[in-house]
Amino acid sequence: MTDALQFLLSGIVVGSIYGLIGVGFTCIFNVTGIVNFAQGDFAMVGAMTTIALLSAGVPLPIAIVLAIVVTCLVAAIIERTAIRPVRSDVVRGIIVTIGIGVILHGVAALVWGTDAQPMPAFSGDAPIRIGGATISPQALWVVGAAMTAMVLLELLFRKTFLGQMFRACAINPFAAGLVGIRVGTMSLISFVMSGALGAIAGIVVAPIALTQYDSGLQLGIKGFVACIVGGFGGPIGAALGGILLGILEAFAAGYVSSGYKNAIAFVLLLVFLLFRPGGLFGDLEKVRS
C-alpha cells in the first residue's frame, strides 16, 4: 500500500510537469491552430537562463523573473520572424516549430554547453511525509504551478473578452479580422503567454531534474501526449491528461519495469489518435468551436 501511494504521488508530480507543458501548447493552439513542438524548449530556455543568472550571483526571485522575460522575448521573436509568415498554413507552421526546436538546441549548446546543470530547490530539501510516502517540497511548487496555470488559463479562455478574441482567431481568422480583432497581435500574445508558461515549467522542475540543452525535447513530447490524452481544446484537459500520463508511467515503472516508462506515452498517443483523437474531454472540433 505504501508503494502504491508513493507511485501515485510521484506520478502526480511528474504528471503536473507534463500538464504544465501541455497547458502551454493550448495557448498557441487556441489562437493559431498550430501545435508548437518547441514548447518544451521554452522550458529549457527558462531553466538554463535561471541557472546562468544564479551562477552570476543574481538572487533567485530576480533570476526567475528575468528568465521568464527572456523566454517571452524569445517566443515573441520566433512568432514575428518564423511563425507569422506561415501562419495561414497550419502544416507549415507545425514544421517550422520543429525546426525552431532544433535551432534552440544548437544555440543552447553553444551558450551554456552540453553538461547537465543543477538548480537549488526553492524551499529546501527536507522531505514531506504523506502517509508512508515522501515527496520533496519542490514537488509542491510543481503541482501548485500546474494547477494555478490550468485554472487561470481556463478562466481566461472562457470568461474574458481577450479569451473570446483568442477563440475567434482560432475558429475563423478572416472573420475575426473583419470585426476588428488584430489577429497578428493575438498570435503574438499567445506565443508570449506560451513562452512564460514554458519558462515557469522549466524553472519549477529544474531543482528536481538536471537541465541541459536538449532536456526540452522529452518534455515537449510528453506535453504533446498530455494534450492528446486530455484534449487540445482547453487547459483543464491538457493538465489532467498530463497527470494521468504521469501516474500511468509511475505505476508502470514501479510494478513492471522502468524500461516501459517512456513506452506508455507512445502507446497512449497511438490509442487516442486512433480511437479518440479529441481526447478524454470531448471532440476536438467541438471544443474549439
**What secondary structure does DSSP assign to 177-236, as a single string?**
HHTT--HHHHHHHHHHHHHHHHHHHHHHHTTTS-B-TTHHHHHHHHHHHHHHHH-TT-HH
* Distance separating alpha carbons of residues 59 and 32, to the nearest angstrom: 37
Q: Which residues contact 239 (CB under 8 A, 6 or more apart)?
A: 16, 19, 20, 22, 23, 146, 147, 149, 150, 226, 230
- What pLDDT score was predicted for residue 60? 92
Q: Are 78 and 102 in contact (CB under 8 A)?
A: no
pLDDT of res. 99 = 92
Could you tell me which residues come within 8 angstroms of residue 228 by beta carbon, excluding any fewer than 6 positions away? 241, 268, 269, 272, 273, 277, 279
Beta-sheet strands, E only, within the chain: 128-130, 133-135
DSSP state of 82: I
pLDDT for the residue numbered 201: 92
| Residue appearing with cell numbers 537562463 | 49
What is the reported pLDDT for 44? 94
Give me the pLDDT at residue 52, please.
94
Q: What's at 23, amino acid-wise?
A: V
d(CA 20, CA 32): 19
Within a 10 A sphere around the Cβ of 74, how many other Cβ atoms? 24
Which class in CATH covers the domain with range 2-123+132-288? mainly alpha
Residue 167 confidence (pLDDT): 80
pLDDT in tens, the chain (289 residues): 678 888 899 899 999 999 999 988 988 888 888 889 999 999 999 999 999 999 999 999 999 999 999 999 999 999 999 888 887 788 888 899 999 999 999 999 999 988 888 898 888 778 888 877 888 899 999 999 989 988 888 888 888 888 888 888 877 888 888 888 888 889 899 999 999 999 999 999 999 888 888 888 888 999 999 988 888 767 888 888 999 999 998 888 888 877 777 788 888 888 888 888 878 875 444 444 4
- pTM comes to 0.89
Q: Which residues contact 93 (CB under 8 A, 6 or more apart)?
A: 32, 34, 83, 86, 87
Considering only CA atoms, which of 152, 196, 194, 186 is closest in space to residue 166? 186
Largest CA distance in the chain: 60
Q: Report which residue type is found at 281.
A: F
Residue 287 has a pLDDT of: 41
The pLDDT value given to residue 286: 44
Domain ranges of the chain: 2-123+132-288
The predicted structure's pLDDT at residue 63: 95
R_g of the chain computed on alpha carbons: 18
